Chains A and B, each alone.
Chain A
């Protein structure tokens, strides 16, 4: 379905939060890969289905009090 706007299609997102979280949290964040980066930052990356799923993730981040630093769409889902 080429007509769908890009943000309604699954895409790869990178979410950066303050503080190190280990890989054990991956399940909680719907399977995103968690990497510990410099400056006490955790990078979560992975495929997010659509806008609703993205907002769901952001709510989870909000609800455990994680400070959100940045959010990027880095590419299309590779099929």
Chain B
């Protein structure tokens, strides 16, 4: 596979031996380690990079040299992860493969990244150089998220801050600098700090051209360049090897000139080079990175000629920076490159496209797609660019480079797209991902004007399926995704896996579990061939959830063990996906009444779910842990999960199954507490009544309501509802739910005194339960053991088995020992977390942009809800309740 990550961007530029030591600035950088962020903001040529490379030389450091291409958030984060991984092998593995999803969940990626950063025990510096090349808002937003979520250095409790972030830039970035400054989180070095002081100017000239320059000449150079190191260095190069008389002439002419310092000096430096080198400099100024073979190709030189030139320039300090240890890759100092390019464009404009085209050809031959495309576009050779994009679009999409693809396709002329339906479809897909639905549809239509291959028709159908998914149109998703899978060839793995996943989701929404299972099985199989672990585990989780609904517990348990092992072997043991698998496994062990083991997996599932911001994973883990705790007799712990779920509800839009599951769990707890009226009101608030018609998607609510009605002693009403439930869950093939419905029917019939019918219903439930080994379903939310005993007495073997498994267990129903606390509001939680800092009430008010009085009111309410009387006590209590 062609490489995507350029290792040279992660290389810490080496310090040249003649660089002037700057202890004054190094000390300021050291002192800034107590801050979250160091910002070095100054114009070009002020020595930002040199200062940083001198500083981090003796430290653990990760480094990324940014460029315009990093405005693609996926690419930006890929480099962040790669830099982290270079520092500590394995770090960021999960974030990296998440990034390769066709539509990466950015907050999850960032959260995974932050967790990995926190996990790195030894402190390190993370340098982002040339941050001014970033203009994309999503990248800035990601940086704000990172800064907000990194624990501040030296925070109480933490041994020591893992990461100190450094941004070097020519322009202040749009980050909340004022806020960071106000909180003492920002260390800043600016142009005024970086200018060379007179003694530093003298030292620089001494090192570059030797002693012997008169003091007034040094002073004149310092004044003319205003301590600007790029100017000083150019002046030094101009004087190198000259006799004192010439030097004096040079200094007089230079300091007497009004020309812009750099313009004057660049001319001097350039004219001093032999003609062959001048040509080399101009021709290679079109390149962002230089290697011997690449320069040979671009300059049309003899093999190996350029390598010697590059090494010569490195020795003579001709504004060239090595990008690795092997003398393979270099780049020009950016300021110098701009000056050369200006000259090239002025003197030989016709050469520019020719040079770019040669670079594009060389990169293509060397399997570097991205620069090959960039140079083709710079050459204005759109035909070539279009061909390259067409050939690599799926790979790039598979790596999550949507924004880059979109940018390139944007750069192509419209008629170029019209004759290439493949590009037209990718353009539509990327426009859809970026949220431009109308334009996406227009390009799909444009593609349909051409004669299309089956593959193209499949791609169009898949794009339409994604759009239908976004619009919530289940029937269209199914139709288009089916078409896509029928027409896409086997090798279109990225398209196929995505189409299979949406198809599975759509079937699941429509209540056709068997079809959903088939689609997710296909998605799982395709994911295996892509080699993307995150996608693979996601497909496994989705398949497990479906099989679970089908009642195939043993198969799901096998899959969970199997994919937990896969996760472990590939460095994914500590991820949210592994957490989801643990929670699913816990729910099965619970059903089998293996409570101790279930508790372990449920706790693990919750701990891992908390590492991400995946609401489904977190919700699932709370629901499973709650039931497990209740079964283990920990009513208080079970009730706490209700509060945790409440907090989640306040913060996010939940998927419908989670809303239903949450309501069902709440109703179960309230039923145990005897709060039937509250529970009924809860259902009313969701618009759920015993006589409604409903679809499979909402069966959780109605099943919970039926349980409540049986429990409450209203068997007539319960049976009417259960009859409708039976039809819905049976139609969907949801065996787990069906067992529950039949058990409740048995209980309701028994309550009516219809024992024969009750036993018949229970008998059916037992038959369906046996293959999966269901047990707890018969005693939770309505104890069916008396009925089970009768069934066993009538010779039902599985009833005996269930009694053996759960006979000794207490059904989950005991009153809480102490009333749980009133849940805290989102704002109160926010303030509670700030109470765990050194901020005063006034500072908290400032942080949240509310009045001090409002803050005081919130604090009073927090104290009252937690039953405490002071800040320290509140924080302790909050920690005990896991609220922080």
Contacts and interface: CB of A to CB of B under 8 A. Distances in A.
B338 A63 contact: yes
A19 B261 contact: yes
A62 B258 contact: no
A65 B44 contact: yes
Contacts of A24: 346
Contacts of B170: 62-63
Given A19-B258, A25-B342, A28-B346, A62 B43 contact: yes
Contacts of A18: 260
Contacts of A27: 342, 345-346, 349
A40 B335 contact: no
A28 B345 contact: yes
Contacts of B43: 62, 65, 67
A54 to B, nearest CB: 14
A62 B44 contact: yes
A53 to B, nearest CB: 15
Q: Considering residues B230, B260, B345, which has the most beta carbons from chain A within 10 angstroms of its beta carbon?
A: B260
A20 B334 CA distance: 21
A22 B262 contact: no
A67 B259 CA distance: 13
A8 B346 CA distance: 29
B342 A65 contact: no
Given A21-B263, A65-B228, A40 B345 contact: no
Contact of B258 (A17, A20, A64, A66): A20
A64 B44 contact: yes
Given A22-B263, A62-B43, A28 B258 contact: no
A27 to B, nearest CB: 5
Given A20-B258, A25-B263, A63 B44 contact: yes
A67 B171 CA distance: 13
Interface in A39-76: 40, 42, 62-67
Nearest to A29: B342
Nearest to B46: A65
Interface in B323-370: 334-335, 338-339, 342, 345-346, 349
A14 B705 CA distance: 74
A20 B257 CA distance: 9
Nearest to B259: A20
A24 B563 CA distance: 66
B680 to A, nearest CB: 59
A33 interface: no
A19 B228 contact: no
A16 B132 CA distance: 22
A25 B746 CA distance: 90
A38 to B, nearest CB: 10
A20 B335 CA distance: 18
B259 A22 contact: yes
A17 B261 CA distance: 12
B45 A65 contact: yes
B262 A65 contact: yes
A64 B343 CA distance: 13
B508 to A, nearest CB: 45
B267 to A, nearest CB: 10
A62 B41 CA distance: 12
Contacts of A17: 260
A64 B259 contact: no
Contacts of B171: 62
Interface in B187-237: 228, 230
A20 B44 contact: no
A36 B346 contact: no
Contact of B260 (A19, A28, A63): A19
A26 to B, nearest CB: 9
Contact of A19 (B44, B45, B263, B338): B263
A14 to B, nearest CB: 18
A29 to B, nearest CB: 9
Contacts of A66: 260, 262
A64 B170 CA distance: 11
Given A63-B170, A64-B339, A65-B44, A21 B334 contact: no
Nearest to A36: B258
B345 A19 contact: no
Contact of A64 (B132, B262, B345, B346): B262
A27 B228 CA distance: 26
Contacts of B230: 65
Contacts of B261: 19
Nearest to A58: B171
A28 B257 CA distance: 22
A20 B346 contact: no
Contacts of B335: 63-65
A63 B259 contact: no
Nearest to B260: A19
Contact of B259 (A21, A62, A65): A21
Name the residue in A18, A25, A63, A64 with the highest tally of chain B Cβ atoms < 10 Å from its Cβ.
A64
A62 B260 CA distance: 14
Nearest to A38: B258
A53 B262 CA distance: 24
Nearest to B263: A21
B410 to A, nearest CB: 14
A24 B334 CA distance: 20
B257 to A, nearest CB: 8
B629 to A, nearest CB: 58
Interface of A: 17-22, 24-25, 27-28, 36, 40, 42, 62-67
Given A19-B263, A64-B262, A64-B335, 13 more contacts: A20-B259, A20-B263, A27-B342, A28-B342, A40-B258, A62-B170, A62-B171, A63-B334, A63-B335, A64-B338, A64-B342, A65-B44, A66-B260
29 contacts: A19-B258, A19-B261, A20-B260, A21-B260, A22-B259, A25-B263, A25-B342, A27-B346, A28-B342, A28-B345, A28-B346, A36-B258, A40-B258, A62-B132, A62-B170, A62-B171, A63-B334, A63-B335, A63-B338, A64-B44, A64-B335, A64-B342, A65-B43, A65-B45, A65-B228, A65-B230, A65-B262, A66-B260, A67-B43
Closest 6 CB pairs of A and B: A19-B260, A65-B44, A28-B342, A20-B258, A20-B259, A40-B258
